[in-house]
């Protein structure tokens, strides 16, 4: 049996309590007491798309950020293509593309093309490869015209698409997407889903773990859905199996049945942060 693309075992993460004023100086040294992840175990197979479904603060972004080597776990292990995110962060970063689900993260006075060149070169792509990949992806994302404009002049949705291009530039085998269509309009979101399904997932070489608040998006893209609540994994299965298990007619009812939350808990926060 081939090794899973992502392996998460008993993953736990707690944060120190937030402090303000002079107590903020003590925060980096305080004991972690606020539980964000509580012993999550999950595998993502090669070529598989798994969606993370949970209310705000459930731990979805924390999980993705641990895999992206941006946060260190308190316990358990997380690995990408067999490489441990804590002990081998560089090897993990070689294999993943990360989209933080926001429309910031670029140098506003550089053009989109210049930004992609910068990040592509930091991922050790040759100049020719960056140019070729940028041009190919620009066609797929319909960004050819916007690519040579300064990022500060681009709309939020365009920057978000640029961010997705950056995540895909070095052809990673694992894609981590945190609310990938949050700032996209309906047409761009649909186009992105089509692209992800046809160009990324159909090839079977790339695995995707993504968090979203859009249930239809999950049903369309995900092979399995992992339902997380208060840092715990409640279930991970296909939509059909989850519906059968909960005797529910919709994914929303499944979520309600498993977590006890009202459906509006799934709506994205106003400021966009989890």
Partner 1 sequence: MIRLLRELWIFCWRDLSIARSYRSPFILETVEALFGAAMFYYVARFVDSPQLRGSLPQGGSYFAFALVGFVFFDYLNAALDTFDRSIEEARNSGTLEHLLVTQTSLPVMLAGSAIYPFVSTTLRIAVYIAWGAILFDFPLRGANWVAVAAVLLATLLAFSGLGIISAAYLLLFKRGNPAKWFLLGVSSVAGGMLFPVNILPDWLQIVAGLNPITYALEAMRSALLGGASLAGLWRPVVVLLGFAAFLLPTSMLLFAWSLRRTKTTGTLTHS
Shortest Å distance, C-beta 26 to partner 1? 10
Q: 90, exposed or middle or buried, with CB in 10 Å at 0-12, 13-18, 19+? A: exposed
Shortest Å distance, C-beta 69 to partner 1? 7
CA angle 7, 199, 181 (to 5 degrees): 75
Contact residues toward partner 1 (CB under 8 A) are 13, 15-16, 24-25, 27-28, 32, 36, 62, 65, 68-72, 90, 93-94, 96, 98, 100, 102, 104-110, 114, 118-119, 121-124, 150, 166
Shortest Å distance, C-beta 82 to partner 1? 17
Shortest Å distance, C-beta 41 to partner 1? 21
Counting Cα atoms < 13 Å in the Cβ hemisphere of 125 gives: 22
Q: How far apart are CA 201 and CA 221, in angstroms?
A: 9
Shortest Å distance, C-beta 103 to partner 1? 9
Q: Which CB, 49 or 85, lies closer to partner 1?
A: 85
| Spatial contact of 228 and 68, defined as CB atoms under 8 Å apart | no
Contacts of 134 (CB under 8 A, 6+ apart): 113, 116, 117, 120, 147, 165, 169
Q: Which CB, 15 or 131, lies closer to partner 1?
A: 15
Q: Which CB, 36 or 251, lies closer to partner 1?
A: 36
Q: Which CB, 21 or 203, lies closer to partner 1?
A: 21
Q: Which CB, 16 or 268, lies closer to partner 1?
A: 16
Shortest Å distance, C-beta 72 to partner 1? 5
Q: How many residues does the chain have?
A: 274
Q: How many CB atoms lie within 10 A of CB 55?
A: 20
Q: How far apart are CA 100 and CA 256, in angstroms?
A: 27
Tokens of 132: 């070729």
Q: Which CB, 176 or 227, lies closer to partner 1?
A: 176
């Amino acid at each position: 049996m081939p090794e899973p693309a992502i392996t998460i075992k008993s993953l736990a993460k707690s944060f120190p309590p937030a402090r303000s004023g002079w107590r903020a100086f003590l925060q980096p040294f305080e004991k972690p007491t606020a539980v964000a992840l509580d012993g999550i175990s999950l595998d993502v197979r090669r070529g598989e798309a798994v969606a993370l479904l949970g209310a705000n603060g459930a731990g979805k972004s924390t999980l993705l950020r641990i895999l992206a080597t941006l946060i260190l776990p308190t316990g358990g292990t997380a690995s990408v293509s067999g490489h441990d995110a804590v002990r081998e962060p560089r090897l993990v970063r070689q294999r993943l593309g990360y989209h933080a689900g926001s429309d910031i993260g670029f140098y506003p006075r550089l053009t989109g093309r210049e930004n992609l060149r910068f990040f592509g070169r930091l991922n050790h792509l040759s100049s020719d490869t960056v140019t070729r990949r940028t041009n190919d992806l620009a066609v797929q994302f319909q960004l050819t015209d916007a690519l040579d404009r300064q990022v500060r002049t681009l709309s939020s949705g365009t920057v978000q698409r640029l961010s997705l291009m950056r995540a895909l530039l070095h052809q990673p085998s694992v894609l981590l997407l945190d609310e990938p269509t949050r700032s996209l309009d309906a047409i761009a979101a649909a186009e992105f889903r089509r692209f992800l399904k046809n160009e990324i997932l159909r090839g079977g070489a790339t695995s995707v773990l993504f968090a979203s608040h859009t249930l239809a998006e999950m049903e369309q893209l995900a092979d399995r859905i992992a339902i997380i609540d208060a840092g715990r994994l409640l279930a991970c299965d296909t939509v059909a199996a989850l519906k059968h298990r909960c005797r529910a007619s919709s994914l929303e009812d499944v979520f309600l049945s498993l977590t006890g939350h009202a459906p509006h808990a799934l709506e994205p926060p106003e400021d966009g942060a989890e």
